[in-house]
Amino acid sequence: MNSREKKDLGTLGYVLGLIMMVIIIAIGAGIVLGYVYKRGKDLKEKHEQKVYEREMQRITLPLSAFSNPACELVDENTIVVQPSQTPVEDTRDGSGPLMGQAGTPGA
């Protein structure tokens, strides 16, 4: 049986193999870091967009009442006084509200 002996790659072969492994690992790490960076940037932009929309909704929500024609606008400083009718009783004849038609007893 003829057995083949492994050939020695030499110092240059080991250096080239090591350089290729470093390049492959660097490419993989670059892809992973680029994906993580882009994903984080997109999430940050989405969060900022939601915060902006919430802020705009908070600002424009009270103004929506003024655009509703069914809402009646009343000035806060205007005071409206409704005249009320109070019954006026005639107390000239000596009959107060607690005294009946008979007058004072014993008179």
Mean pLDDT along residues 21-34 = 98
CB atoms within 10 A of CB 95: 15
- Cα distance between residue 61 and residue 34, in whole Å: 40
Residue spans of the domains in the chain: they are 11-57
pLDDT of residue 8: 78
Whether the per-residue pLDDT at 29 is higher than 80: the answer is yes
pLDDT bucket at 106, cuts 50 / 70 / 90: low
User: Pick the residue with more confidence: 97 or 104?
Assistant: 104
Do the Cβ atoms of 20 and 26 come closer than 8 Å? no
77-100 average pLDDT score: 60
Rounded mean pLDDT of 54-72?
Answer: 68
C-alpha span between 60 and 48 (Å, rounded): 18
* C-alpha to C-alpha distance for 9 and 20, rounded to whole angstroms: 15
